Structure 1
Amino acid sequence: MSKKVLVVEDEISIQRILQYDLMQSGFSVDLASDGEEGLQKALADEYDVMLLDVMLPKRDGFSVCKELRNRGNSIYIVILSARDDELDRVLGLDVGADDYMTKPFSSREVVSKVKAIIRRREVLSAGKGKSYLSYQRIRLDSSRFEVLIDDQVVDFTLKEYELLEFLIQHKGQALSRDVLLDRLWGFEYDGDTRIVDVHIFKIRDKLKPYGIKIKTIRGVGYMLEDEAND
């Protein structure tokens, strides 16, 4: 079955180019021309990736992203913006986006990013079956990409799940931002390491009520303590 991509973009020329090139690469593509239409389509169907413009009629991309996350929708969201502004980038990540691309971009860049996202998800899924990874009160269900704490599901996006899983797999090791960026976003990512910091902040906020901490290693990056040393 072909992977499904939802393109939410009000510029018809960009919309059609992305649709054509994604379909040529074997993806199934749906289109939406305003934020409200994009939100309803994302809620009504299951997509692997959502390409979401910021400046949209009826409802802006940040609002759409926030609403989807509030409803527990874990679709992988790539924000598309004509403004290469750090505040916009951080805001997009803060409301739950997984990635960010700045216009102008070539459709080839977008297709390459979507392929990389799908590849990483398939690698995560390949051969895992029903298996768990545990750390303190956390249990990760790799068959469903779910985070359970005290056997209760806690809402994590796919990218947050990947990041937490990587930290647990390498507990007791100080992981640099560059390592996390390379392993979890891939060499195709053309942004800066701030995306790692924002995701760590969001994960910390979700773990805080349970007393689970991600340690900052000054000048290096982040680490989960080895349980033997807790």
Structure 2
Amino acid sequence: MNLLLVEDDLRVSELVKRGLEEHGYQVTLAYDGLMGKKLMVANRYDLIITDIVLPQLNGIELCREIRQLWPELPIIMLTALGTTEDKLDGFDAGTNDYLVKPFDFRELHARIKVLLSHNAGALQAPIIKSLKYADLEMNLQTNVVSRMGEEINLTPKEFKLLEYMLRNKERILTRTEIAEKVWDTHFDTGTNFIDVYMNYLRKKIDKNFENKLIHTKTGMGFIFKES
């Protein structure tokens, strides 16, 4: 099961992520509501856990955005706001469950299991046929990549790397994340295979175009965005 956790408290997000991964879930973190929305639109998740008080876009608005696309997608609000009015606002926005901080992780896990069991097989995520950004387009049905109408030939691994960057555009991606999500392996800091493949991709995607899309963030990783 693939879960999205939208939580700006680093300590809470890491604790919840670690606990859920120990129970076999895949967990993607977003530290503000806007990033949560972007990830939610670009990827398929089985359940969303979100705080209410978030930078950029609050959890209530995020919940409403989710409901417009996926009416059946389970949502749990995990927040310090525990008044009756707060809970009513959450349920009015479309959340399925509401858990007030501080909480017992076992209770959170129990509620997740209940919601997932109720929605097993019921979710119908929209089929994404292509990914577009700036003047670049990736057709996910034909595996054709083009920029300004010019077709670009990529190896299967380069295609997978570009697809992940497109799905996570305008977000810094660490080498560790790329290794885990694209190569399904843990990143060995003694090797530079991520940088090698990124250079391969740059030569094909950016070299002949004025507007560069792949950028290195020193000491942090890479980001896919317009110059």
* TM-score of the aligned structures, taking structure 1 as reference length: 0.51
For structure 2, the residue ranges without an aligned partner over 5 or more in a row are: 126-227
In structure 2, which of residues 21, 28, 32 is the aligned counterpart of residue 23 of structure 1? 21
The alpha carbon displacement at 1:69 in A equals 1.7
Query: What is the one-letter code of the residue matched to 1:50?
Result: I
The alpha carbon displacement at 1:110 in A equals 1.3
The alpha carbon displacement at 1:72 in A equals 4.3
In structure 2, which of residues 83, 97, 109 is the aligned counterpart of residue 99 of structure 1? 97
Secondary structure, aligned partner of 2:49: strand
Query: What is the one-letter code of the residue matched to 2:44?
Result: E
Equivalent residues of 2:50, 2:76 under 8 A apart: yes
After TM superposition, the structure 1 = structure 2 runs for residues 1-230 of structure 1, keeping only pairs within 5 Å, are: 3-72=1-70, 74-122=72-120, 125=121
Equivalent residues of 2:32, 2:55 under 8 A apart: yes
Secondary structure, aligned partner of 1:56: coil
The alpha carbon displacement at 1:75 in A equals 2.0
Identity %: 30
Distance 1:116 1:91, change over 3 A: same
Distance 1:33 1:144, change over 3 A: closer
CA deviation string 1:51-91 (max 9, x = no partner): 01001111110011112223445421111120211111111
CA deviation string 1:92-147 (max 9, x = no partner): 1111111111111022221221122222333xx5xxxxxxxxxxxxxxxx7969xx
Aligned match of 1:200: none
Query: What is the one-letter code of the residue matched to 2:2?
Result: K
Distance in 2 separating the partners of 1:4 and 1:82: 24
Distance 1:72 1:50, change over 3 A: closer
- Of 72-81 and 95-104, more deviation after overlay is shown by 72-81
Distance 1:30 1:144, change over 3 A: closer
The alpha carbon displacement at 1:26 in A equals 0.5
Secondary structure, aligned partner of 1:78: strand
Distance 1:48 1:72, change over 3 A: closer
Structure with higher RCO (Cα < 8 A, 6+ apart): 1
Equivalent residues of 1:17, 1:107 under 8 A apart: no
RMSD: 2.0
Equivalent residues of 1:7, 1:52 under 8 A apart: yes
CA deviation string 1:145-203 (max 9, x = no partner): 9xxxxxxxxxxxxxxxxxxxxxxxxxxxxxxxxxxxxxxxxxxxxxxxxxxxxxxxxxx
* TM-score of the aligned structures, taking structure 2 as reference length: 0.51
Secondary structure, aligned partner of 2:44: coil
